[in-house]
Amino acid sequence: MGMKLYCFGESGHSYKAALALELAGCDWAPVFVDFFARETRSDAYRADINIMGEVPVLVDGDLTLTQSGRIQAYIAEITGQHGGVTDAEKGEVLRWTLWDNSKFSTSIGITRFLMNFIPEAKRPQQVIEFNQARLKASYKILNAALEGRDFLVGEAITHADMTCCGYLYYPEPFGFDRSAWPNIDRWLTNISSTPGWKAPYDLMPGSPADRT
């Protein structure tokens, strides 16, 4: 029996885990979680799937893992792929995962949600602009790190790339213009050119189009 990933298409953190599974050639299947119907907030979901009330959740036999970074690390452990080759590279993959989860994806996820998934009249413009200003500093960091490099760590794609790119392929606006960041733009093209790559809504069930 293959692995199951509880996820939904709009979730950038789910996309990181789904992309990691796909590019590693794992036997897995998505399990749709209806976030917009408040499934993750239900008592049943918290009791049976994830006490934290979040996605993604990876189930591999008797093992259940939550948090995208932990799931990515597990995939690297069991497949030997994309986790870095040397100890130094493995440390760099971890460093970028921690940076992404604390400084990058969280801010993008909040900003994208506020700009696209709540009624326009309720969108807090000052909060959106504050987050976008913070994100501009993160784009500068990422763009500079990719100067003269095809990928963030080593010579090939790793989980460092898969975590940091998680939200950047989504079509909904959140203040990111990839053409303004040439190194990021080139890097995203490198990732999407990797055999097996799929865009978020092609890899996981659920999209805004399903709710219109």
Asked if residues 113 and 174 have their Cβ atoms less than 8 Å apart, the reply is: no
Q: How far is CA 88 from the centre of its chain?
A: 23
Mean pLDDT of the chain: 97
Residues 56-88 have pLDDT tens digits of 999 999 999 999 999 999 999 999 999 999 999
Q: Where are the domains of the chain?
A: 3-82+198-211, 87-192
* CATH of range 3-82+198-211; options 3.40.50.1820, 3.40.50.280, 3.40.30.10, 3.40.50.300: 3.40.30.10
| CATH number for region 87-192 | 1.20.1050.10
Q: b/e string for 33-54 if b means 16 or more Cβ within 10 A?
A: bebeeebbeeeebeeebbeebb
Residues 127-168 have pLDDT tens digits of 999 999 999 999 999 999 999 999 999 999 999 999 999 999
pTM: 0.97
Q: How far is CA 33 from the centre of its chain?
A: 16
- pLDDT beyond 70 at 1: no
Asked if residues 188 and 168 have their Cβ atoms less than 8 Å apart, the reply is: yes
Reported as a pLDDT band with limits 50, 70 and 90, residue 181 is very high
